[in-house]
Amino acid sequence: MAQRVRGRSTWAISFALAAVLGGSVAGCANFDATSLVRQACTHVDRSLTLYRSAGHATSAQAQATLVAAALAELRAALPLAATAAGQSAQWQALTTTLSESSRVPESDLVNALQQQCADVATGTGPAPPSPSNTSSEVPTLPEPVGR
């Protein structure tokens, strides 16, 4: 009888320890994901700044250079966001939005990117996407050559 009780208590302790360790690992993964998303959103912020600057460029060459640099920043953000989404599903929307940069103009992504990264800065998590995909603040620029 004592051996049966000892076996059950050993099982209960092992189960409790596994639950605690599992929660700790999940917490670390979420922290890593948040750190990666912050890095991705830094690239997004740079991209949006460059894209807005392109709307005020004095020449077509300067505009094309700024649009290309903005796109490069979005592309740099994508693997960071994808890794974060693999660790925590709450970042899948940001990854999806960033992946659209190869198919749609950045002007169509501005609102979603702003909202998805806005709450990262405050630490409150991702915001839901906006029903509108365009912003009146951001000009629609021509597609870069070679896209």
Does position 13 have pLDDT exceeding 70, yes or no? Answer: no
- Overall residue count recorded for the chain in this entry: 147
Does position 124 have pLDDT exceeding 90, yes or no? Answer: no
> What is the arithmetic mean of pLDDT over 70-99?
96
86 vs 20, which has greater pLDDT? 86
In angstroms, the Cα distances linking 58 to 27, 54, 61, 111 are 49, 9, 9, 25
- Percent with pLDDT over 90 in the chain: 58
Q: What is the dihedral of CA 11, 15, 20, 23, to 10 degrees?
A: 170
Q: What is the residue-averaged pLDDT of the chain?
A: 77
Q: What is the pLDDT of residue 22?
A: 42
> What is the arithmetic mean of pLDDT over 61-84?
97
Does position 72 have pLDDT exceeding 90, yes or no? Answer: yes
CA-to-CA distance for 124 and 144, rounded, in angstroms?
35
* pTM for this prediction: 0.65
Does position 21 have pLDDT exceeding 50, yes or no? Answer: no
CA-to-CA distance for 29 and 59, rounded, in angstroms?
46
42 token code pair? 């830094």
Q: Identity (one letter) of the amino acid at 120?
A: V
